[in-house]
Structure 1
Amino acid sequence: MATVPKVPLGRQGLEVSAQGLGCMGMSAFYGPPKPDEEMIELICKAVEHGVTLLDTSDVYGPYTNEILLGKAIKGIRDKVQLATKFASVIENGKITGQTRGDPEHVRAACDGSLKRLGVDCIDLYFQHRVDRKVPIEITVGEMKKLVDEGKVKYIGLSEASAADIRRAHAIHPISAVQIEYSLWARDVEEEIIPTCQELGIGIVAYSPLGRGFFSGKNISEFADSDLRKYEPRFGSENFQQNKRFYEKLVKLGQEKNCTPGQLALAWVQHKGAVPIPGTTKLKNLEENIGALKIKLTPEEIKAVEDAVPVEEVKGDRYADMSKTWKFNSSPPLDTWTGTKQ
């Protein structure tokens, strides 16, 4: 049944499915958590189809998404590549909004994720956000120790600047950078993607469907607990202006006999990234996988990009942009005193 081919992610030897599965929305941030049994069945179906890169984080829930994945992969561990992340400070089950990249936190977070996932090794371990208080060399130095100890196979960064990616890669090879990359989030093409291409680092594209925008999600569909309801691009005035881009994709998709969401995913895939669209429905999973069959000519790629002129997109991608690569960078190494966060 497997239909999704494998591709190298970076130059360190990691192989993953050409499209992954973002699991966050099953447990957190996009409305109420979905029933475990249904999500386990969906994850297993994804793996049967060849979608083997499963993406989670300790902050999703917090913790509950990793626990869910741990249940889902029982008996199929050897068929999947598990990616999880650390950096968020969680106290008494609550997300504090703080970030830690000090060695003590790196190690404790990894041990916690291993236990919740029920595995003895994480395939791809990401620093979820850069700690502005800890030099990235210190964080990655501890991640390197986890690799040496066999707790982690490959390491990655998320929402890191090009400068931090270079500094990190000098300490230990970075296999992948996870970054928001979609038709309406293309600023990473200026520095981050060229840097990764130069260094042989793979790109994992999160929110490749613009948090559901390019698959037709409307703000009226979101529950009150869905964070998208409060994001600038989905705000009523901005949404009214932005939806014209979706309508253009609908027309282009009709010409290619595909949905606008498939067209948006095909574009990301043609850019050489591994997208990790999230879903909680089997029909959406199958639609996303179908995007892998879509071939785009250079002229079609340009037409798709022209349909979504990024300079005309209304609103930032987050209500709080301070945790993104544009406003987050690690301090110089010579400022590190070794103090606990």
Structure 2
Amino acid sequence: MNRRDYLKLSLAAGAALTFNPGALFASGASGRGPLITRAIPGKDERLPVVGLGSSATFSRVAGSEDAQALREVLSAMVEHGGTVFDTAPSYGASEQVAGAIARDLGLTDRLFWATKLNVAPRGGGAADPDAAKAQVEASFERAGKRPIDLIQVHNLGDVPVQLGLLKSLREAGRVRYIGVTTTFAPQYGQLEQVMRDEPLDFIGIDYAIDNRTMEERIFPLAQERGIGVLVYAPFGRTRLWEKVKDKALPEWAAEFDATSWGQFFLKFVASHPAVTVATPATSRVRHMVDNMGAAYGRLPDEAMRQRMIRHIESL
């Protein structure tokens, strides 16, 4: 059963579930224990292990004239315990639209707002400091939050200039946490060097059950240096959905309280001790509710993680 079919069956109890995501959530997560949270390394603050990203379909819907679906998605995340919202100025209208929705719904102060900084380089290849400052100020206006919880240098863009700006903003108390991101394997070496050289609070990186290179060096380094990890693309974008299409979820997934493929993939990601939060992007409230189900119940232990890997590799 793929994700679409599973969620259709979950909604078959009645049309009321379409308009009341809490009912769907209660049907799948009740009795599975408290919300799973992970500490930000070195801080007295914990975050739910599942949040929301705003690239991909979220970005496309944000650019349309009807953002009602995104209102429902943000509401569903918060209603079911999520707080982390990850965005970027480069994700089209996502940052602006989400900020407006959060203010309208009174959610701004309930969100852990994570955005990014990366301005186009000047002729010589360096980022324009004034343009970087302007982009950050625009993010403050869109988020409507002071301070912003986290700003990261997107895809390691001119780290000396842009991370330098973020360090000054953190020192001034305008940003709580700072970091860098990449989802490009050729940049992993540079990422490691920045992790060693700079006082980072977070990194953002791609990670999925079939994309585990970062387990070799980057995750151990994050643990050694006390750096939090936001995970992007935990479904391999669409790669994993294509792999499990028309495949039944194994019965033994119940041993770690996964009731859908989405939860299977997210619980794998969240079970790595270096991971702080997984932030899959979605513009559909049903998917958001299903994703949040992965933040409840049990997580797989190492033996189960290996079984999960073998199963996916066998498909």
Whole-angstrom distance in 2 between the partners of 1:32 and 1:120: 25
Retained in 1: the 8 A contact 2:150–2:176?
yes
Q: How high is the sequence identity, in percent, across the aligned residues? A: 25
Q: Name 1:7's counterpart in structure 2.
A: 38
Retained in 2: the 8 A contact 1:85–1:127?
yes
Retained in 2: the 8 A contact 1:26–1:33?
no
Retained in 2: the 8 A contact 1:52–1:80?
yes
Retained in 1: the 8 A contact 2:181–2:203?
yes
Whole-angstrom distance in 2 between the partners of 1:100 and 1:27: 30
**1:121 matches 2:144:** no
Q: Once the 2 structures are TM-superposed, how far is the Cα of residue 57 of structure 1 from its aligned partner?
A: 0.3
Q: Name 2:5's counterpart in structure 1.
A: none
Q: Name 2:132's counterpart in structure 1.
A: 106
Q: Name 2:19's counterpart in structure 1.
A: none
Shift in CA distance, 178/141, structure 1 to aligned 2, threshold 3 Å: same
Q: Once the 2 structures are TM-superposed, how far is the Cα of residue 263 of structure 1 from its aligned partner?
A: 1.0
Question: What is the count of residue pairs matched by the alignment?
Answer: 271
**1:211 matches 2:240:** no
Q: Once the 2 structures are TM-superposed, how far is the Cα of residue 139 of structure 1 from its aligned partner?
A: 3.0
Provide TM-score, normalisation by structure 2. 0.75
Quick one: which of 221, 226, 235 aligns to 1:200?
Answer: 226
**1:161 matches 2:188:** yes
Retained in 1: the 8 A contact 2:100–2:142?
no
**1:291 matches 2:291:** no
1:140-164 Cα distance to aligned partner (Å, 9 max, x none): 2221111122321100110153554
Shift in CA distance, 282/198, structure 1 to aligned 2, threshold 3 Å: same
Whole-angstrom distance in 2 between the partners of 1:186 and 1:107: 35
Whole-angstrom distance in 1 between the partners of 2:204 and 2:215: 13
Written as runs of structure 1 = structure 2, the 5 A alignment for 1:299-338 is: 299-309=303-313
**1:139 matches 2:139:** no
Whole-angstrom distance in 1 between the partners of 2:125 and 2:88: 14
Structure 1 runs not aligned, ≥5 long: 91-97, 219-242, 314-341
Whole-angstrom distance in 2 between the partners of 1:119 and 1:31: 20
Q: Name 2:173's counterpart in structure 1.
A: 150
- Give the stretch that moved more between structures: 31-40 or 109-118: 31-40
Paired letter, 1:263: F
**1:181 matches 2:207:** yes
Retained in 2: the 8 A contact 1:66–1:117?
yes
Q: Once the 2 structures are TM-superposed, how far is the Cα of residue 137 of structure 1 from its aligned partner?
A: 3.8
Q: CA RMSD in A?
A: 3.1
Three-state SS of the structure 1 residue aligned to 2:294 is helix
1:272-317 Cα distance to aligned partner (Å, 9 max, x none): 31211122222211211122324324332111112344xx99xxxx
**1:52 matches 2:83:** yes
Structure 2 runs not aligned, ≥5 long: 1-21, 26-33
Q: Name 1:328's counterpart in structure 2.
A: none
Whole-angstrom distance in 1 between the partners of 2:127 and 2:74: 30
Q: Once the 2 structures are TM-superposed, how far is the Cα of residue 266 of structure 1 from its aligned partner?
A: 0.7
Q: Name 1:70's counterpart in structure 2.
A: 99
Q: Name 1:17's counterpart in structure 2.
A: 48
Paired letter, 2:211: A
Three-state SS of the structure 2 residue aligned to 1:258 is coil
Retained in 2: the 8 A contact 1:44–1:72?
no
Retained in 2: the 8 A contact 1:246–1:260?
no
Shift in CA distance, 39/167, structure 1 to aligned 2, threshold 3 Å: closer
Retained in 2: the 8 A contact 1:213–1:246?
no
Q: Name 1:93's counterpart in structure 2.
A: none
Shift in CA distance, 38/163, structure 1 to aligned 2, threshold 3 Å: closer
Q: Name 1:264's counterpart in structure 2.
A: 265
Q: Name 2:16's counterpart in structure 1.
A: none
Retained in 2: the 8 A contact 1:267–1:301?
yes
**1:85 matches 2:116:** yes
Shift in CA distance, 33/9, structure 1 to aligned 2, threshold 3 Å: farther
Paired letter, 1:252: P
Whole-angstrom distance in 1 between the partners of 2:196 and 2:136: 20
Shift in CA distance, 31/49, structure 1 to aligned 2, threshold 3 Å: closer
Paired letter, 1:264: F
Quick one: which of 276, 281, 284 aligns to 2:284?
Answer: 281
Paired letter, 1:280: S
